[in-house]
Amino acid sequence: MACAYFGLDCKVFMVKVSYEQKPFRREVMRTYGASVTPSPSMETEVGKKILAAHPGTTGSLGCAISEAVEVATTTEGYRYVLGSVLNQVLLHQSVIGLEAKAALDKYGITPDIIIGCAGGGSNLGGLIAPFMGEKITKGADYRIIAVEPASCPSFTRGKYAYDFCDTGMVCPLAKMYTLGSNFIPAPNHAGGLRYHGMSSTLSQLYDDGLMEAVSVPQTAVFEAAEQFARIEGILPAPESSHAIRVAIDEALKCKETGEEKTIVFGLTGTGYFDLVAYEKFHDGKMDDYIPTDEELAASFATLPVVE
Ligand SMILES: Cc1ncc(COP(=O)(O)O)c(C=O)c1O
């Protein structure tokens, strides 16, 4: 989702697949006065271009960003704010990391593993900020794991390169792990993780070997979500459930080896607007699309050449 806004007048470009899969989220925004357009749309020049290049596409965050930026830059008084990826968003999210660290310190607990889902990287960047600081400056021994969908594996199968932050190539270049701004992920239900790139800061930390990344298929994610909901009573968002999957996997490894570890993970949202996804999972209608090497190679071929 990407929005251009002017005061309370808000125009939202919602990734087409999310617009269809998450009708309640769309209606909440409309209730508060936003106009919501499925992206890519014929309302913008860049949307028309994307639709011509990818007819029938279900969209991606990269497409929605291009459209919102076009509206914001061509409409008097409008502004656009990117909701993830950039450092100011990680900085805002660091409140979560600081609070988590303060709570752990209060009880004298040192985590062994810190896990977060990664779409553009903002919740993970914020959660790990104080722990990563200690790792870099004091040699603290935290294992930090980013979890991404197997259908959009920016860290685990992407290239570390300069790329556009959006599909329409109107935003500046950033050095990041990327699948190519032309990559349009399969319509996975974790819409917030369907972004081709990754925060530059997290990309650097990953490239320096200071954190790990794993990718997980969505049915395994929903199995974890269901288990978590039944035990904790909280219905998690599909995005957050990526972190839950890997937290459970790490806990199961401990069970096997008999080790005791403290595992912290980020629960970024609830899944009450994602019940269409839960319905698909319960009815056995959810699939696990994983891009082929050839698909990724075709997208890497469109990366900008930077001297
Ligand atoms: C509930 C939820 N969690 C996580 C994310 C992932 O975003 P980021 O990687 O920027 O934290 C999103 C993105 O929309 C989201 O909606």
Q: Which amino acid is at 99?
A: E
Q: Which residue has the tokens 């977060």?
A: 116
CA-nearest residue for atom 15, ligand 1, is 192
| pLDDT tens profile 34-74 | 999 999 999 999 999 999 999 999 999 999 999 999 999 99
For the full predicted model, state whether its pTM sits above 0.85: yes
* One fold for 2-80 and 87-300: yes
CA-nearest residue for atom 14, ligand 1, is 192
Q: How far is the CA of 297 from the centre of ligand 1 (A)?
A: 26
| pLDDT tens profile 172-184 | 999 999 999 999 9
Cβ–ligand 1 contact at 185 (below 6 Å): no
Q: How far is the CA of 131 from the centre of ligand 1 (A)?
A: 20
Q: How far is the CA of 209 from the centre of ligand 1 (A)?
A: 23
Q: Atom of ligand 1 at shortest distance to CA of 191?
A: 14
Probe residue for ligand 1, chosen from 3, 81, 122 as the CB with the greatest number of ligand atoms within 8 Å: 122
CB of 46 closer than 8 Å to CB of 170: yes
Topology of 2-80 in CATH?
Answer: Rossmann fold (3.40.50)
Instruction: Give per-residue burial for 32-63: e unless 16+ CB within 10 Å, then b.
Output: eebebbbbbbebbebbeebbeebeebbbbbbb
Cβ–ligand 1 contact at 126 (below 6 Å): no
| CATH, range 87-300 | 3.40.50.1100
Cβ–ligand 1 contact at 239 (below 6 Å): yes
CB of 65 closer than 8 Å to CB of 12: no
CB atoms within 10 A of CB 16: 21
> Mean of the per-residue pLDDT values for the chain?
94
d(CA 83, CA 192): 10
Domain ranges of the chain: 2-80, 87-300
> Highest-confidence range of 14-28, 180-194, 261-275, by mean pLDDT?
261-275
Element at 92 (helix H, strand E): helix 87-106
Cβ–ligand 1 contact at 192 (below 6 Å): yes
d(CA 159, CA 154): 8
Probe residue for ligand 1, chosen from 25, 193, 221, 240 as the CB with the greatest number of ligand atoms within 8 Å: 193
The stretch 252-279 carries a mean pLDDT of: 96
Q: Atom of ligand 1 at shortest distance to CA of 269?
A: 1
CA-nearest residue for atom 7, ligand 1, is 119
- pLDDT-based confidence at residue 82 (cuts at 50, 70, 90): confident
